[in-house]
């Protein structure tokens, strides 16, 4: 997982330099940012944060190990070649699907709607709308003053909050109501800052709207049976 990511990243930066590309907008990940066991719950996760690579290796979290390694390789190569690069670090991306097939991010939500899982995890997850991620790339490409990294996130929710939102808008599905681990205190969302993207004019889509559009897309793509008990006109998504 790590080797092709790093080599591929370096190859793209070299190709961009050879083609005299004006600017490279590199898509990184929250996985390169927040995996750090020594971070205090009161600390704010922002663009200055990097995942602890040794921690990721020791816990065999190869995805979150590969992301900071690849991003750092991109920064190093861009600096060495004089390439103007900025990075976007999205959290879990949801919203309407372009492709007919499922991806890992969407399956994260689909499992709560099909009855394949009877409980939800005692953990938190950050979310962002796919359109906001796309717009972030455009803003960073078109804004000459943009520089460095940009955390692209709208909300951090406990999985219990996610299923509550899903159950509110789609009560016809067998959405779990019990936590997988109720013996431990409920995990608290971490604090984060998306101010750098807001300063560029990005207005994030509320996470409730994001979840709603995700499910509607799954229905339209045939991944969920449509058994609507409410019409779109009857539903008003509140931030």
94 membership: H or E segment, kind and range: strand 92-94
Which of 20, 57, 60, 67 is flagged as catalytic?
Answer: 67
Taking the C-alpha atoms of residue 86 and residue 78, their distance in angstroms, rounded to an integer, is 10
CA 163/CA 34 separation, integer angstroms = 24
Angle, alpha carbons 30-185-171 (nearest 5°) = 75
Active site residue 118: no
Do 210 and 94 form a contact (C-beta atoms < 8 A)?
yes
* Separation CA 9–CA 187 (nearest Å): 35
* CA 21, chain centre distance (Å): 27
- What SS3 class is residue 222? coil
Dihedral Cα 19, 23, 27, 32, nearest 10 deg: 110
By DSSP bridging, strand 124-129 and strand 155-158 are antiparallel
Euclidean distance between the first and final Cα of the chain, in Å?
38
Positions marked catalytic: 67
């Amino acid at each position: 997982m790590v080797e092709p990511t790093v080599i591929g990243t370096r190859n793209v930066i070299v190709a961009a330099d050879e083609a005299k590309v004006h600017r490279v907008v590199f898509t990184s990940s929250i996985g390169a940012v927040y995996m750090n066991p020594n971070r205090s719950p009161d600390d704010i996760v922002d663009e200055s944060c990097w995942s602890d690579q040794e921690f990721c290796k020791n816990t065999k979290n190869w995805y979150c190990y590969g992301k900071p390694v690849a991003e750092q390789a991109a920064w190093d190569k861009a600096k060495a070649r004089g390439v103007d690069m900025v990075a976007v670090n999205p959290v879990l991306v949801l919203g309407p699907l372009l492709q007919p097939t499922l991806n890992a991010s969407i399956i994260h939500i689909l499992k709560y709607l099909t009855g394949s899982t009877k409980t939800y995890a005692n953990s938190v997850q950050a979310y962002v709308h796919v359109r906001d991620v796309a717009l972030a790339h455009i803003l960073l490409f078109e804004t000459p003053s943009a520089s460095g990294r940009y955390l692209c996130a709208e909300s951090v929710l406990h999985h219990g909050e996610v299923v509550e939102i899903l159950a509110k808008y789609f009560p016809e599905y067998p959405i779990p109501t019990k936590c997988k681990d109720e013996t431990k205190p409920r995990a608290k969302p971490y604090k984060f800052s998306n101010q750098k993207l807001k300063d560029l004019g990005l207005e994030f889509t509320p996470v409730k709207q994001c979840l709603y559009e995700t499910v509607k897309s799954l229905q339209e793509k045939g991944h969920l049976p449509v058994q609507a008990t409410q019409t779109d006109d009857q539903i008003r998504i509140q931030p």
